[in-house]
């Protein structure tokens, strides 16, 4: 072998050794990096599994909470389809629930829908309060609370209250009946006396009939009171005001201007129409009786949130501050020929419709006279 060849083999060996050393160093570095990476992955995996365990724990707790809630929980997707329920919801609404439109579920489970979400009557005989909240995802969560006991208690109390009022009315009624009855008896007995002229007889008959009519009015008022809560139907509020106007127009004297205004033409209430008509008529008649000559009388129907309001306002003399508190009391009257039953009947009829009636603050409607506000639950129509 020549010297040159030996030299070149030596150089190659050195280069190879250097390459192996470099390779060894890089391999060691790589293996170190790989170990560090593996440790990091293991740590991340441990952290992730901790986080997952936390989330699962939270989800399990939430689900147990929803399942155990005494109220019904129904989750709807963006199209109003039921996608989640809890056992209380099944108990209240019945099955099937899942994957059905909530509106259909409610139509089948409830006796009436939309009337008053605070006490919807279900076919099962239960009453529920329905509250709905939008979810960020576009869906909705519906919470159904069983308010049957509270509802029954309210019905019971209203009945008790009516009985109590009826008792007071009966006591006062005896007084009211006595005067016209005594007058009728007196004139009727005078008619039986001998040698009465025809004119005398006619006068006695007129007086007798007048007193009997007074008694008849009393009986009718009492009947209206007693029937305040009878059968209900869907009634359009504007049609109702039209009926009031029909009754009222023949009684309007010269100088009285009657205006009927309806701000919500589709407004409906569930009501005993004749009772409600006579309640509004009562308020309007009071306005006619209170005013001497000119009078602007307005009947207004409007929606206020989920409520229907009928506002009867006049620009008559108004109601003095010292009697405002007393006008709804049975037999309270400031009129010579009044019996003081009118407003207590209005109150009783409206309360039997789950509504309220109040005298608005004087000047609230800018008429200067008296303004009564009837407030009733509005019924949704399709």
Enumerate binding residues for ligand ADP (CB under 6 A): 286-287, 290, 314, 316-317, 319, 327, 332-335, 338-340, 342-343, 370
The nearer residue to ligand ADP, 269 or 287, going by C-beta atoms, is 287
The nearer residue to ligand ADP, 110 or 319, going by C-beta atoms, is 319
The nearer residue to ligand ADP, 72 or 340, going by C-beta atoms, is 340
Report d(CA 110, CA 286) in Å as an integer. Answer: 40
The string of DSSP letters for 193-224 reads: SSS--HHHHHHHHHHHHHHHHHHHHHHHHHHH
Report d(CA 27, CA 34) in Å as an integer. Answer: 10
Angle 198-226/148-191 helices, nearest 10 degrees? 170
Report d(CA 331, CA 225) in Å as an integer. Answer: 13
For residue 345, the minimal CB distance to ligand ADP (Å) is: 8
The nearer residue to ligand ADP, 316 or 377, going by C-beta atoms, is 316
For residue 346, the minimal CB distance to ligand ADP (Å) is: 7
Report d(CA 32, CA 18) in Å as an integer. Answer: 21
For residue 206, the minimal CB distance to ligand ADP (Å) is: 23
For residue 362, the minimal CB distance to ligand ADP (Å) is: 11
For residue 203, the minimal CB distance to ligand ADP (Å) is: 27
Phi-psi sector, 272: left (phi>0), alpha (psi -120 to 50), beta: beta
For the chain, how big is the Rg over CA atoms in Å?
41
Report d(CA 371, CA 362) in Å as an integer. Answer: 7
For residue 277, the minimal CB distance to ligand ADP (Å) is: 16
Residues contacting 106, CB < 8 A, separation 6+: 93, 113, 120, 130
For residue 359, the minimal CB distance to ligand ADP (Å) is: 8
Report d(CA 352, CA 229) in Å as an integer. Answer: 5
The nearer residue to ligand ADP, 224 or 237, going by C-beta atoms, is 224
Query: CA geometry: angle at 73 spanning 67 and 79, to 5°?
Result: 130
The nearer residue to ligand ADP, 120 or 348, going by C-beta atoms, is 348
For residue 239, the minimal CB distance to ligand ADP (Å) is: 24
**Nearest residue to ligand ADP, scored by beta-carbon proximity:** 342
CA-based nearest residue to 266, from 244, 288, 237: 237
The nearer residue to ligand ADP, 161 or 334, going by C-beta atoms, is 334
The nearer residue to ligand ADP, 9 or 220, going by C-beta atoms, is 220
Residues contacting 208, CB < 8 A, separation 6+: 183, 184, 187, 188, 191
């Amino acid at each position: 072998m020549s010297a040159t060849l030996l030299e070149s083999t030596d150089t190659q060996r050195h280069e190879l050794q250097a390459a192996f050393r470099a390779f060894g160093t890089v391999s060691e570095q790589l293996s170190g990096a790989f170990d560090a990476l593996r440790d990091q992955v293991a740590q991340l995996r441990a952290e992730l599994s901790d986080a997952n365990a936390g989330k699962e724990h939270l989800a399990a707790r939430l689900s147990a909470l929803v399942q155990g809630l005494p109220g019904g929980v129904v989750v709807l997707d963006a199209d109003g389809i039921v996608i989640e329920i809890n056992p209380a919801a099944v108990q209240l609404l019945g099955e099937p629930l899942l994957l059905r439109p909530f509106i259909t579920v409610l139509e089948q489970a409830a006796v009436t829908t939309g009337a008053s979400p605070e006490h919807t009557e279900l076919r099962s005989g239960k009453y529920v309060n329905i509250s709905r909240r939008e979810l960020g995802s576009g869906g909705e969560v519906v919470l159904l609370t069983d308010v049957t006991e509270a509802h029954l208690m309210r019905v019971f109390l209203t009945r008790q209250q009516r009985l109590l009022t009826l008792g007071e009315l009966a006591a006062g009624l005896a007084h009211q009946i006595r005067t016209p009855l005594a007058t009728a008896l007196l004139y009727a007995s005078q008619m039986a006396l001998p040698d009465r002229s025809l004119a005398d007889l006619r006068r006695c008959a007129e007086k007798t009939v007048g007193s009997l009519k007074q008694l008849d009015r009393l009986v009718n008022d009492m009947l209206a009171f007693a029937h305040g809560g009878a059968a209900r139907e869907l009634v359009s509020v504007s049609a109702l005001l039209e009926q009031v106007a029909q009754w009222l127009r023949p009684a309007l004297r010269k100088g009285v201007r009657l205006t009927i205004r309806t701000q919500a033409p589709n407004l409906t209430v569930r009501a005993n129409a004749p009772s409600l008509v006579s309640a509004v008529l009562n308020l309007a008649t009071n306005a006619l009786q209170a005013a001497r000559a000119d009078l602007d009388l307005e009947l207004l129907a409007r929606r206020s949130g989920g409520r229907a309001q009928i506002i009867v306002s006049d620009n008559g003399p108004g109601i003095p501050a010292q009697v405002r508190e007393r006008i709804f009391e049975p037999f309270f009257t400031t009129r010579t020929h009044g019996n003081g039953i009118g407003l207590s009947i209005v109150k009783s009829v409206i309360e039997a419709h789950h509504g309220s009636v109040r005298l608005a603050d004087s000047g609230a409607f800018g008429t200067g006279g008296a303004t009564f506000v009837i407030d009733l639950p509005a019924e949704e129509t399709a």
